[in-house]
Amino acid sequence: MTSSEWRVGVLFSRSGISEITETEHFLGTALAIEEVNAAGGVLGKPIVPIAYDPGGDQTAYRNLARRLLADDDVNIIFGASMSASRKAVLPIVERHNGLLFYPSMYEGFEYSENVVYTGATLNQNTFALAEYLLRHHGRRILFVGADYIYPRESNRVMRDVVEAKGGEVVSERYLPLHADEQTLRSVISDIVRLKPDAIFSTIIGRPAQRFYRMYAETGIDRRRVPIASLTMAESEIREIGADACTGHILSATYFQTVENEANERFVGAFKARFGQDFTTSVWSQPAYAQVHLFARALARAGSLETHRISEEILLEDFLAPEGRINFDADTRHLWLHPRIGVARADGLFDIAWQAPGPIRPDPYLTASRFEDVWLEA
């Protein structure tokens, strides 16, 4: 790295099972870097990204993280969308004393001095979703998810919340990451047979898109019996087809329809840069915000030295498109804005509920209480 630039790594898959959501991460990252550089860079020097596409392969994530840190003279990496990829790169990042900026919602129960966590933890999306489903749809919930750590942990916590509030989990199934059509149809058959009041889905990627299309084919009233998710955002709805998704529910900290000036600027800039047909989402927005948080911390640190950036970032307070965010220094996670959205005919979401302000992260679920009344506001 020369003294005239700030070199960083970008490690998101733009191909493979999570192509759509990780491309959203990539675009949010790219837009923020371009904005910082257009404003003069940081201390007069541009941020220069070195980007690789791991293709959704965990071995590739590991190898490319090692290349960035050992061969490309990089200390900072923006990347690793799925929990499996974060787990794959974490030992490499720690061994090389790098700093990973991780923008995805995830299962919590993790702490590393070498990670900055900017996505939602389960108390910032799952608690509100459980209460919303029980209040508005009924007590009988069917769970289906991909077979890896995030769905299993999300479902474990969701089950605890649902049962603590008097609900019932009528079925819980886990599918391969690359579940085939026959496997997905067997889940649809379970839904038709068991007649749940709602489905909580943590299937991801192309199998999730096929699952939503199959569900639409059943003719079930989606306004009455929706699929609820923590991940199925605007970009994937565009891929599935908005007419197959109306009525489905997403619990997230950001929607394109959030109303504030910061979001108007973000949406306008995103569409101007990538095309009017593109939507922003809970995938692109945290990736965008964390670059701006990093740039502000770098301006104070004046160095890419891991410890300096790691300390300075925890002092940040930023007006992001979702609203004002800041770090909880004890956990290295952000205070975020929980919301519930219901998909509509144009592929965006009506915000059915939102917290009155940012909610403190509780990644270890040590302080959160299931009996908290989330939906009074």
Q: What confidence tens digit (pLDDT) does each residue in 103-157 have?
A: 999 999 999 999 999 999 999 999 999 999 999 999 999 999 999 999 999 999 9
Is there a single domain that holds both residue 246 and residue 284?
no
- Is the predicted pLDDT of residue 375 greater than 70, yes or no? no
* Domain count across the chain: 2
Which neighbouring-strand residues pair with 50? 9
Identity of residue 77: I
Domain that holds residue 218: 123-257+338-354
pLDDT of residue 118: 98
Cα 208 off chain centre by: 15
Residue 91 lies in a domain: yes
- Is the predicted pLDDT of residue 53 greater than 50, yes or no? yes
**Overall average pLDDT of the 72-95 stretch:** 96
- Is the predicted pLDDT of residue 377 greater than 60, yes or no? no
**Overall average pLDDT of the 24-36 stretch:** 98
- Is the predicted pLDDT of residue 29 greater than 50, yes or no? yes
pLDDT tens digit sequence for 318-344? 999 999 999 999 999 999 999 999 999
CB atoms within 10 A of CB 169: 17
218: domain CATH number is: 3.40.50.2300
Residue 244 lies in a domain: yes
Residue 370 lies in a domain: no
Is there a single domain that holds both residue 189 and residue 310?
no
On average, the pLDDT of the chain sits at: 95
Length of the chain: 377
pLDDT of residue 373: 43
Is there a single domain that holds both residue 134 and residue 180?
yes
pLDDT of residue 1: 46
Is there a single domain that holds both residue 232 and residue 143?
yes
Cα 5 off chain centre by: 29
- Is the predicted pLDDT of residue 376 greater than 80, yes or no? no
Angle, nearest 10°, between helix axes 58-70 and 83-95?
30
Residue 360 lies in a domain: no
Confidence of residue 371 (pLDDT cuts 50, 70, 90): very low
pLDDT tens digit sequence for 282-320? 999 999 999 999 999 999 999 999 999 999 999 999 999
Least confident among 69-73, 222-226, 368-372: 368-372
Confidence of residue 368 (pLDDT cuts 50, 70, 90): low
**114 phi-psi bin (left φ>0, alpha ψ -120 to 50, beta other):** alpha
CB atoms within 10 A of CB 149: 16
Residue 371 lies in a domain: no
Angle at 274 between CA 270 and CA 278, to 5 degrees: 75
pTM: 0.95
Is there a single domain that holds both residue 151 and residue 299?
no
- The phi, psi pair for 188, rounded to 5°, reads -60, -40
Q: How do beta strands 317-320 and 323-328 pair?
A: antiparallel
Is there a single domain that holds both residue 316 and residue 239?
no
pLDDT tens digit sequence for 203-258? 999 999 999 999 999 999 999 999 999 999 999 999 999 999 999 999 999 999 99
Residue 369 lies in a domain: no
pLDDT tens digit sequence for 188-201? 999 999 999 999 99
Is there a single domain that holds both residue 251 and residue 262?
no
Is there a single domain that holds both residue 286 and residue 296?
yes
Residue 53 lies in a domain: yes
Cα–Cα dist 92/284, whole Å: 25
Is there a single domain that holds both residue 232 and residue 102?
no
- Percent of the chain at pLDDT > 70 equals 97
Is there a single domain that holds both residue 342 and residue 211?
yes
Token code pair at residue 10: 């970008």
Q: Which long-range contacts (CB under 8 A, 24 or more apart) does 296-303 make?
A: 298/6, 298/42, 298/43, 299/42, 299/43, 302/43
- Percent of the chain at pLDDT > 90 equals 95
pLDDT of residue 367: 74
- The phi, psi pair for 285, rounded to 5°, reads -65, -45
- Is the predicted pLDDT of residue 370 greater than 90, yes or no? no
Residue 152 lies in a domain: yes
Is there a single domain that holds both residue 111 and residue 135?
no
CA atoms within 13 A on the CB side of 100: 33
pLDDT of residue 369: 53
pLDDT of residue 47: 98
Is there a single domain that holds both residue 159 and residue 245?
yes
Cα–Cα dist 128/126, whole Å: 6
